[in-house]
Chain A
Amino acid sequence: MTRAPVPPRILAVGTSHPPRAYTQDDLVRLFRCEDPKVRQFFESSHIQRRHLVLPEPDADGVMPDEDGGALLAKHLRVSLEIGREAVERCLGANRRTAVEVDFFATTTSTGFLCPGLTAYLIEASGMRSSVHRADIVGMGCNAGMNGLLTVASFAAANPGRAALLLACEVCSAAYVFELTARAGVVNSLFGDGAAAVLVVADERLTAADGPALLGFESHIVHAARDEMRFDFENGRFSFYLGWEIPYLIGEQIRTPVLRLLDRFGLKRRDISHWVVHSGGKKVVDAIKYNLGLTDHDVRHTRSVLRDFGNISSASILFSLEKLTRERIAGEGDYGVVIAMGPGVSIETGLLRW
């Protein structure tokens, strides 16, 4: 008789962010933005504040220019601070220490390092030198799910062993922060934050320990590959986001979600909890009306967007932490996690408590 494989479970989530938060008004003032079109992005956006690491204005009140080298150094410095704190909080929540981690993966799209972030954080956090590792770089906002699939696969293949994912995004180090017309949308959107999740497959674990990761479905839309991208101009990165992207994602969202549900014989109404990436107001609306979700279903998605902005791959884990803290998920409840980003890519996963 063969026994059903033990599904990996998410045992803990820990988050961190830089201490300083800026309201949208703060930023418009700080960067002395006069362009009404750009100011409009900051006013109409459903973001109240974002945690960012920005330089201090000079004696004349002008924001100094940060070059590529300074941005990379900031990415590493801030990643080590918030990444280590998120890892500590996650492991602490499950009463574990760093030496117990067997596999460590990171996701980031806000700075290219070699050696990768794991090489720094394994030492800084006190993990064993024998820990397996993977650095997932440059996949964008959907990477939280790509990372989750990676640690879940390790955990499933190695029962009892601890896999840790850190989604670490220092968006204020990704590109030059400027309030021009083209950069206005993205610079009014992204924020800094890090979130870690601990995933273990062990038959002794139950719903009380955390939700099981039952499966994943991916969907990539090639036709829109260039509609969400990093550009490299004049020696520095900028991020481009096509205006139709939120609607395109709405149009495509049912493909992976229904495929995922069909695989497990579920209907949309069987899903009690939705963990949706806080991509921006428009894309959340588009998902809401294409999947028939309610405001209640996207409450964490909205509150993370309001308080942190779009923190790229870490967003879904911030929402998952909020859901976990509510303690409303009961044994047998199903949840669907949705992250979307460049590719254009929609990544989904099924949870069961």
Chain B
Amino acid sequence: MSETTLRLDRVGPVATVTLDRPDRGNAISMTMVRELEQLCHLLEDEAAERVLVLRGAGGTFCSGIDLLDFPPEAKPDIRGFSRWEKACRTIERLPMVTIAAIDGECVGGGLQLALTCDARVATERASFQLHEVRDGFLPGMGTFRLAKFIGLGRARFMAMTGRRVAAGEAFELGIVDRVCPAAGLDAAVGATIAAFGEIHRDAVELARRLFDESFEIPYEDFLGCFLAAQHRAIQSEAFKALVREAHERGVPRPRR
């Protein structure tokens, strides 16, 4: 596969996908959407890595949608947005830990992309913005995701004013999990990866899905979902090894 808008680097357990259109602020074009989905499928099928890091080339994470992708004369159609959400959902369903490593602008679709990840690491010069409502359209499914991170009131204010939020405030709001100096992004990403420990692919995928669904499903239904997911998790080799080891040591807790 040869991407024109993305770069894939695979080192040990970590796959890094870099949005690679620095001359256009890594803006999201339809080609990028397609390539992002294809790359996710590749990573899922090969199951060679346990971590996906998303980052941007040239000191910007992502400046949002590429308006040059819309032909000026034609009637705009909705299919591209559907395709984009499908790509976001593909990331949200990956059986690997996903981390957005954010330097510079993280705007519109860029913020949506970051919100699909399990963790967001940002440099001090990073900034966050959903400008779309102010510009007369909508921030994708950001209306669906952002409030779950920062609460309905703050999400509405942020999205409807299009206000730019600096890294420090983004950390306070809960958009970002870790802030680091501009030169320290790689180290901060490394430390974040280490924080996830061994990483069990099935458990990561199931836990993320259950957390997402916890906002949508009544308790009784959710309980059924949890039991089905937990049944799958405890059939894993990892859980069996955990039990075996506990018996060998005579200690009820796993070794940490």
Residues of A with Cβ closer than 8 Å to B?
44, 246-247, 250-251, 267, 269, 281-282, 285-286, 288-290, 292
Contact = CB atoms under 8 A, between A and B. Distances in A.
A290 B227 contact: no
Contact of B224 (A269, A282, A290): A282
Interface in B169-211: 205-206, 209
A290 B232 contact: yes
B220 A289 contact: no
A44 B220 contact: yes
Closest 4 CB pairs of A and B: A285-B228, A289-B228, A247-B231, A286-B228
Interface of A is mostly: helix
B125 interface: no
B57 interface: no
A288 B45 contact: no
Interface string B37-59: 00001000100000000000000
Given A44-B220, A267-B45, A289-B206, A247 B228 contact: yes
Interface string B220-245: 10001101110110010000000000
Nearest to A247: B231
B41 A269 contact: yes
B148 interface: no
A288 B224 CA distance: 11
Nearest to B93: A292
B232 A250 contact: yes
B231 A286 contact: yes
Contacts of A269: 41, 90
A103 to B, nearest CB: 39
B45 A282 contact: no
B228 A290 contact: yes
Contacts of A250: 228, 231-232
B225 A251 contact: no
A289 B229 CA distance: 6
Contacts of A247: 227-228, 231
A302 to B, nearest CB: 11
A251 B229 contact: no
Interface string B75-116: 000000000000000100100000000000000000000000
A248 to B, nearest CB: 9
A285 B225 contact: yes
Give the interface size bracket for B toward A.
10 to 19
Contacts of B232: 250-251, 289-290
Nearest to A290: B232
A289 B90 CA distance: 16
A250 B93 CA distance: 19
A290 B228 CA distance: 8
Contact of B225 (A44, A267, A288, A292): A288
A267 B235 CA distance: 23
Contacts of B93: 292
Nearest to B90: A269
Contacts of B206: 289
A288 B226 CA distance: 11
B139 to A, nearest CB: 23
A15 B165 CA distance: 58
B156 to A, nearest CB: 26
B231 A281 contact: no
5 contacts: A250-B228, A267-B41, A269-B41, A285-B225, A289-B209
Given A44-B220, A267-B45, A285 B235 contact: no
Most chain B CB within 10 A, of A267, A289, A290, is at: A289
A251 B235 contact: yes
A282 B228 contact: yes
Contacts of B90: 269
Nearest to A44: B220
A258 to B, nearest CB: 12
A46 to B, nearest CB: 8
A289 B235 contact: no
A285 B90 CA distance: 20
Contacts of B45: 267
A198 B209 CA distance: 39
A269 B228 CA distance: 21
Contacts of B209: 289
A251 B232 CA distance: 6
Most B Cβ at <10 Å: residue of A251, A269, A281, A292: A269
